[in-house]
Amino acid sequence: MKIATITVNPAIDQTVSVDNFQTGAVNRSRDMRFDAGGKGVNVASFLADYGLNVAVTGFLGEENADVFERHFARKKIEDRFVRVPGETRVNIKIMDEANQVTTDLNTPGQIPGEYAITRFYEQIEALAQTCECFVLSGNIQAGLPADFYAELIAFLKSKKRMTVLDTSGEALSAALKAGPNIIKPNIDELGAMLNQSLNSIEEAHAAAIALVNDDTKIVIISMGSDGALFIEKNAAFIVRPPSISIKSTVGAGDAMVAGLVAGLSKKLSLQECARLATAFSLSAVTRLGRDLPASDVINEFQKQVEIIPFVVTKS
Ligand SMILES: Nc1ncnc2c1ncn2[C@@H]1O[C@H](COP(=O)(O)OP(=O)(O)OP(=O)(O)O)[C@@H](O)[C@H]1O
Ligand SMILES: [Mg+2]
pTM score of the predicted model: 0.96
Over residues 93-99, the mean pLDDT reads: 91
Tens of pLDDT, residue by residue over 186-207, are 999 999 999 999 999 999 999 9
Asked whether the predicted pLDDT for residue 49 surpasses 80, the reply is yes
Taking the C-alpha atoms of 270, 271, 276 and 280 in order, what is their torsion angle to the nearest 10 degrees? 90
Q: How confident is the model at residue 93 (pLDDT cuts 50, 70, 90)?
A: very high
pLDDT at 142: 85
Q: How confident is the model at residue 241 (pLDDT cuts 50, 70, 90)?
A: very high
Asked whether the predicted pLDDT for residue 313 surpasses 80, the reply is no
- Residue-averaged pLDDT of the chain: 96
pLDDT at 289: 79
Q: Which of 214, 226, 254, 296 is catalytic?
A: 254
Taking the C-alpha atoms of residue 67 and residue 110, their distance in angstroms, rounded to an integer, is 17
Q: Whose CA is nearest to atom 2 of ligand 1?
A: 225
CB of 257 within 6 A of ligand 1: the answer is no
Q: Whose CA is nearest to atom 30 of ligand 1?
A: 227
Q: Could you say which architecture CATH assigns to the domain 1-19+30-179?
A: 3-Layer(aba) Sandwich (3.40)
Cα dihedral across residues 177, 180, 182, 188: positive or negative: negative
Residue 278: count other Cβ atoms within 10 Å of its Cβ: 28
Taking the C-alpha atoms of residue 255 and residue 271, their distance in angstroms, rounded to an integer, is 17
How many DSSP H helices and E strands does the chain contain? Answer: 10, 15
Contact 219, 128 (CB under 8 A): no
Please state, for a pLDDT cut of 70, what percent of the chain lies above it: 99
Tens of pLDDT, residue by residue over 139-167, are 999 889 999 999 999 999 999 999 999 99
Asked whether the predicted pLDDT for residue 314 surpasses 80, the reply is no
Asked whether the predicted pLDDT for residue 184 surpasses 70, the reply is yes
303 secondary structure, DSSP code: H
Q: How confident is the model at residue 315 (pLDDT cuts 50, 70, 90)?
A: low
Query: Which among 158, 21, 1 has a CA at the least distance from the CA of 99?
Result: 21
Between 3.40.1190.20, 3.20.20.450, 3.40.190.10, 3.90.79.10, what CATH number should domain 181-315 receive? 3.40.1190.20
pLDDT at 182: 98
170 C-alpha vs ligand 2 centroid, how far in Å? 15
pLDDT at 28: 95
Residues composing the chain: 315
Residues of the chain with CATH 3.40.1190.20: 1-19+30-179, 181-315
Residue 147: count other Cβ atoms within 10 Å of its Cβ: 17
Contact 220, 184 (CB under 8 A): yes
Closest ligand, as measured to the CA of 255: 1
